[in-house]
Structure 1
Amino acid sequence: TGYEPAFKNATYWTNENHWEWATKPNAREKASFLTENILPMQESGQLNFIQRPNNDYGFSEELGFEIFYVDGHTEKQMIPHIKYQDKTIVFCADLLATAGHIPLPYVMGYDTRPLLTMPEKSKFLNAAADHNYYLFLEHDAHNQIITVEHT
């Protein structure tokens, strides 16, 4: 591609299903998966694939933490759960973009399967409330980390 990764010492991880989806994007997601942004990871030899479990939650032996796989926003998006000092911090990615997206029907306009996002988000939010996860919201300018509770 003529491009190279910005982080030359990084190791990039994904799963083969999501990589296939990203490198052959549908018309809706083509602007999100730009060849010049993603192919340099593979061309540089820095890309690795994790083994996916047979269900939507699984522990990654390669990475050492649990991942929740979701398909509503994009195919096999990975939601990592990282344990640190008896706390679990979850990188919510596009499953829960902002605190304003907590209500189940409030899904992202970019979701490829919004009716699938709703039950995925319900399962995730119930687990987050049950286990007191700290939810890192990369897209929220006002609430970087939140917790949720059952109401």
Structure 2
Amino acid sequence: MKLHTIDTGFFKLDGGAMFGVVPKSLWQKTNPADDKNLCTWAMRCLLVEDGDRLILIDTGIGNKQDEKFFSHYYLHGTDTIDSSLAAKGFNRNDITDVFLTHLHFDHVGGAVEHINGNLTPAFKNATYWSNAQHWEWAVNPNDREKASFLKENILPIQESGQLKFIEAQDGVTFTNDVKIRFAYGHTDAMMLPQISYKGKQILYMADLLPSVGHIPLPYVMAYDMFPMKTLDERKHYWKEAVDNEYILYLEHDPVIECCTLQQTEKGIKLKDTFMLKDL
């Protein structure tokens, strides 16, 4: 097995929304905001070479939305899915599986593209993976979350016939070296791939841990649908990560790709940070 970081660029989101009830005087120490109170975030995906399968975990925001939509998010950076895949010697047609942790636009937007005025899967040879519980949540969204679930990002995948569902059961097997964990606080049935790699366990954190700035337990995003559930899940996963020396792969941290955690007298804190390629 080989793992590759796939960078797809950066965007900006309101710092207050990203840190919930935590005062700006605290969160700005790790994630300084600009004059519009916006912080920069990565959209960092992961490519898994596993036998004859080439699995892309999440797809970034994509490029098919209109100028008005993108004007809210200040996309910047030079990396794209295509350039990052090419740097590893691959292209879109090589992808066998697109694994979607959840269906918010910054995770699934790149899964679908415009071709000759039609919406079509961007990875024509791939099976797309979600789970039935989260899919139903996304296609019939609540009023609070519906702005994150865009039908043009989601429905074309099902209409193509390329969509399959994973059983929403924690620890379900995806491949011999990848099992799927679940979290329900950020959105219903978000999936977290846990990968056995070089004798270590790598947990892809999606939006359970957006950045190292979110390690303190109360630093729960205002975007989370069920913040108290998120808090309980973070306690559970943080302890498990410390006890088992997990490596946490960060999708949104603007600088840091991977980190580990440690137990201290003041609670669970950041231990080490490093690049995936340095494992």
Q: TM-score, normalised by structure 1?
A: 0.91
Q: What is the Cα deviation at residue 111 of structure 1?
A: 0.2
Q: What is the Cα deviation at residue 9 of structure 1?
A: 1.5
Q: What is the Cα deviation at residue 149 of structure 1?
A: 1.3
Assess, with a 3 A threshold, how the Cα gap between structure 1 residues 107 and 21 changes in structure 2: closer, same or farther. Answer: same
Q: Find out whether 1:67 has 2:180 as its counterpart.
A: yes
Q: SS at the partner of 1:117?
A: helix
Write the letter of the residue equivalent to 2:207: D
Q: What is the Cα deviation at residue 63 of structure 1?
A: 3.7
Q: What is the Cα deviation at residue 81 of structure 1?
A: 0.3
CA contact (8 A) 2:130 2:164 kept: yes
Q: Distance in 2 between matches of 1:92 and 1:133?
A: 11
CA contact (8 A) 1:73 1:110 kept: yes
Q: What is the Cα deviation at residue 90 of structure 1?
A: 1.2
Q: What is the Cα deviation at residue 66 of structure 1?
A: 2.0
> Which of the numbers 80, 85, 104 marks the counterpart of 2:193?
80
Write the letter of the residue equivalent to 1:47: L
Q: SS at the partner of 1:147?
A: strand
Q: Find out whether 1:32 has 2:145 as its counterpart.
A: no
Could you say which residue in structure 1 is the equivalent of 2:162? Answer: 46
Could you say which residue in structure 1 is the equivalent of 2:138? Answer: 22
Q: Find out whether 1:12 has 2:125 as its counterpart.
A: no
Could you say which residue in structure 2 is the equivalent of 1:122? Answer: 235
Q: SS at the partner of 1:79?
A: strand
Q: Distance in 1 between matches of 2:153 and 2:200?
A: 33
CA contact (8 A) 1:52 1:58 kept: no
1:38-95 per-residue CA deviation (whole Å, 9 max, x = no partner) reads: 1111111111111232xxx3132x4442222111000010111011121111110010
Write the letter of the residue equivalent to 1:5: P
Runs of 4+ in 1 over 4 A off after TM superposition: none
Q: Distance in 1 between matches of 2:233 and 2:136?
A: 21
CA RMSD of aligned residues (A): 1.5
Q: Find out whether 1:140 has 2:256 as its counterpart.
A: no
**Number of corresponding residues:** 147
Structure number, greater radius of gyration: 2
1:90-141 per-residue CA deviation (whole Å, 9 max, x = no partner) reads: 1100101110111111001100010110010110111111111111111100
Write the letter of the residue equivalent to 2:148: S
Q: SS at the partner of 2:239?
A: helix
CA contact (8 A) 1:95 1:117 kept: yes
Q: Distance in 1 between matches of 2:126 and 2:263?
A: 38
Sequence identity percentage = 52
In the alignment, structure 1 segments of 5+ residues that lack a partner are: none
Write the letter of the residue equivalent to 1:148: L
Write the letter of the residue equivalent to 1:68: R
Could you say which residue in structure 2 is the equivalent of 1:95? Answer: 208
Q: TM-score, normalised by structure 2?
A: 0.51
For residues 104-119 of structure 1, what are the structure 2 equivalents within 5 Å? 104-119=217-232
Write the letter of the residue equivalent to 1:84: Y
CA contact (8 A) 1:136 1:145 kept: yes
